Amino acid sequence: MSNPSSDFPHWIQQQLGRVEQALSDWVGRDAPHALGEAMRYAVLDGGKRLRPLLVLAACEATDGLQSAALRAACSVELIHAYSLVHDDMPCMDNDVLRRGKPTVHVAYGEASALLAGDALQALAFELLTPDASEEDIPSAMQATLCRLLARAAGSHGMAGGQAIDLASVGVALTRPELQRMHALKTGALLQASVVMGAACSNASSATHTALQQYGAAIGLAFQVVDDILDVTADSQTLGKTAGKDAANDKPTYVSLLGLDASRAYARQLHEEAVQALQASGLERTDTLRALADLVIERAF
């Protein structure tokens, strides 16, 4: 693995500041008070913000439109946040801890949690379609970003993967079946983050293909690392309930491959991501490389 540039921590701090300010400005301000409060609780003051960082890094690497990328970054994070709110509810994973604090349905009740998730999902697409008085973002770019996000969030992506996950409790999945589940449930939105950042530019089709491959490798690596951390880290470190997958008899890479083999697979996926960047034809990929390192280093 590489040593991230000395500028990388500064870049992260700067971009996180942009994202946090934009989310604070855009989330729940005009909603009815109780709903807005639950929406802001679900989104603000927590989370790694990996998906927004991937959007912004891909946009920078391809010399894209920064104003569009910031909206895309926040939109991806809103979809991610809504999915966590719904996944944590009693009808799904029934979890009580997220990002180091009580889950939304614990703090605000199930009905408010359901509505907050619904509203966050709708807001994600509203942010991607500003009128000319807000941002000068080409309509074709807006449409492309909406399609990419919708596909990654729906039955061909996150929601489809979650459906497979719910149907797989107590089931011994094969490795290809497990990989497909996670490629949809977790990987699709991470991959979309990279592709949406590139979609804010006029990057070549070859560059887009390489970045899709990078995003696919990072998306799957993130889930492998999550499975590793579920059995090696405690709840305080994770910010969510540790050991939940094993307790619920869910198939994971660790349960299928074992801990050492899962770590080896994470390293392999990291290498695939690096190779994709090398094939992208882009000159400035240091930030994307450093983000790939961060994904993997959580498990080692």
Ordered structural domains, the chain, with CATH? 8-297 (1.10.600.10)
State the pLDDT confidence band at 99, using cuts at 50, 70 and 90. confident
- Residue 241 pLDDT > 90: no
- Residue 299 pLDDT > 80: no
Work out the mean pLDDT of the chain and round it to a whole number. 92
Cα–Cα distance, 40 to 26 (Å, whole number): 10
pLDDT at 20: 97
Mean pLDDT over 245-273 rounds to 89
Length of the chain: 300
pLDDT at 240: 58
Listed residue (100, 93, 43, 97) closest to 239, CA to CA: 100
pLDDT at 251: 86
8 Å CB contact between 274 and 282: no
Q: Which two tokens stand for residue 269?
A: 């996926």
Cα–Cα distance, 163 to 149 (Å, whole number): 18
**Which tens digit of pLDDT belongs to each residue from 115-148?**
999 999 999 999 999 998 888 999 999 999 999 9
Cα–Cα distance, 81 to 117 (Å, whole number): 8
Q: Which two tokens stand for residue 84?
A: 């966590």
Mean pLDDT over 172-186 rounds to 94
Which one-letter amino acid corresponds to residue 275? Q
pLDDT at 1: 42
Mean pLDDT over 180-199 rounds to 97
Least confident of 90-94, 248-252, 267-271, 289-293: 248-252
Cα–Cα distance, 93 to 80 (Å, whole number): 16
8 Å CB contact between 263 and 300: yes
Strands 97-98 and 101-102, how do they pair? antiparallel
